[in-house]
Chains A and B, each alone.
Chain A
Amino acid sequence: MAELVAKGEEPEILFWVGCAGSFDERAQKITRDICKILQHVGIKFAVLGTEESCTGDPAKRAGNEFLFQMQAMTNIQILDGYNISKIVTGCPHCFNTIKNEYPGLGGNYEVIHHSQLIQQLIDEGKLKAEGGESFKGKKITFHDPCYLGRGNNVYEAPRAALEILDAELVEMKRCKSNGLCCGAGGAQMFKEPEKGIKDINIERIDEVLDLNPNIVAAGCPFCMTMLSDGIKNYNKEDEVKVLDIAEITVRANGL
């Protein structure tokens, strides 16, 4: 972003990468794929790079409102400093926090999740599923991230990205507003689960495996981790792939 400003240019959209997208090896790949999509359709975008910091979501969900607001207000200062008006995030948690919780602290932006960006591009005819890997005959199911689905009523956008593939889409019984959490939300990602009889991601993966899909699609880096761990738990990495909506789009278009 700083480089763009130095050149006296303004981006159409800011890509908010998020902590997972910046540091988690698996999520880094998704980050690069989101960039590929943006480049492919010729949208001029920027990232904050080292100026980006945690939105404060895990702090807020863990009950530390001080730390959340410190993070939020610092981020808002930076975003406002660059005159940002439109943001796309690679993570439903960043999406929810910036979209819903920043306005009350003075940060007002148009915020979309990358699945919504992909949906818009498909609707505008700028993005298709051609020139890349064929998904014909593949069975795909989508796992709704809580903060995208129930949290913000975004159910159709990620599905739109799958519908343009020539694949067989199947829904789990617990989908959309009845979707089952992967187990990572509410700062659970960063702690061991409480004592119980089963891990939540295993409960979810059991449901995934019941459908016997080739691909389980995700839209959140934390769901990605939880689902991948669940698949590994059953040693099914070769049969069932966990792929982000952005990765599927990139593959389908051979980007």
Chain B
Amino acid sequence: MAKEHPILETQDLTIRFGGHVAVDGVSASFERGSLTAIVGPNGAGKTTYFNLISGQLSATSGAVLLNGEAITRMSVPERTDRGIGRAFQLTNLFPTLSVRENVRLVAQAKARKGFDLFSVAESHVELLERADHVLAEVRLIDKAEQTVAALPHGDQRKLEVALLIALGSQVLMFDEPTAGMSVDEVPVILDLIRKLKSDMDRTILLVEHKMDVIRSLADRIIVLHNGALVADGEPADVIALPVVQEAYLGKAPDTSETAAAPEVA
């Protein structure tokens, strides 16, 4: 692992579903400790791009490199082991289990104790402590005993972030972490993400629609449009681009306009 490798890199990453090219030759590299927002209109391929990196989908061509190592053909758990952590757009938790158990399971996976058959799970105090520590961080410790299915939406989003914190991956991928949250809950999530970046030096990828969220968090923006990377740069520069203006200030651009749009890319 030479130093010069970026922590995460995608090279000409492409996936085709029949005739439709959902992600089209996206090349980008991500430096340690950076926070990159990935934006674009609905259907631009942002979540698909995420799925290709974290392994839920396999690329048709191109490569995903983590610390210079190709992980393109690896399974989801293998990528997770190597340091890719993923949170999902739709809340994706273990609904019949308690809040604490959800986080404990992550700590357990990290400690590689999943195949321990003959000890009592509750006797691994360090895993419970780890879970409670993370729950305290996301301010869910009071609800640790509750069943996840019974939690309000905002708390489920917090728990989603808690799972990623517990996973402690090098690369953390958030897919609209504040979607559907009430106004007063949003800052809690944003603070958590900011802390992950600054205190723990994690590399963060963020799919987000809300411009104010992007402005306050991101130090770089990537714009996807029809699966292709059309802009990449400092937030202020990218936001000023016509393609971004169109996508976020009303009229969605149609295909004929895309060719004219990119400049920074």
A binds B: no
Chain A contacts to B: CB under 8 angstroms: none
Chain B contacts to A: CB under 8 angstroms: none
